[in-house]
Amino acid sequence: MPKPYNPRDRFYRKAKDQGLRARSAFKLDEIQRRFHVLKPGARVLDLGAAPGGWCQIAAREVGSKGFVLGVDLEAIPSLPGVTTWVADAFSPELLARLRSEGRAPYDAVLSDLAPKTSGIHGVDEARSLDLAGRALDLSLQVLKPSGFFVVKVFMGGDFAGFLKACKQAFVEVRVVRPEASVARGSKEVYLVCRETRKLRAASDGSTLRTSGA
């Protein structure tokens, strides 16, 4: 699990200097620079969004014509160009609400969900994978077939099984360890997934694309 914040950490200081709410914003910033997961005018869902660092990067990239929805158990102080909800990612009602009020489907679903750490590696890894699995399941129900899914997960436990599940669901899956993660000595990685298999099947003529997707 990641080490405690160090005020001397260059990403922590850089976030403060740039008015970003968390050093983790630079993880998404690097992913964006490498893979261009966020496009102008896109609709974005950010799970585990507090305190809002990823939302800030997403809002910058999608611009005034885009839409960013940040969801977290904790309240997120207002941010320009960002809609926020206090909600549980595991809530059975969340999916229906995303569809009725949250402007689903999305061009990108982001998940920086992380468990409260217990200090017991096996337990923390299992909780991390549970959150990543929930994010994957939710993304497949609210993501446009051509969209991106970005999810944090800690190495260890059944990481291989989760990676396999992502590869079964998406055409392209990259395992990324951003520089800001390396700097803290964290075991976290991010999976950058693009284009659901449903879209590839439709383009091959084997299935029909869902209406409105």
Residue 144, amino acid: K
> What is the domain count for the chain?
1
Is 210 contained in some domain? no
Q: Is 152 a catalytic residue?
A: yes
State which residues form the domain around 140.
10-203
Alpha-carbon span 57 to 65, nearest angstrom: 15
Give me the CATH number covering residue 153: 3.40.50.150
Mean pLDDT in residue range 69-98: 96
pLDDT of residue 17: 65
Is 5 contained in some domain? no
Catalytic residue, candidates 144, 152, 187, 198: 152
Is 1 contained in some domain? no
Q: How confident is the model at residue 27 (pLDDT cuts 50, 70, 90)?
A: very high
Is 213 contained in some domain? no
Q: Is the pTM of this model over 0.85?
A: yes
Buried b (16+ CB within 10 A) or exposed e, 150-186: bbbbbeebebeebeebbeebbeebeeeebebbebbeb
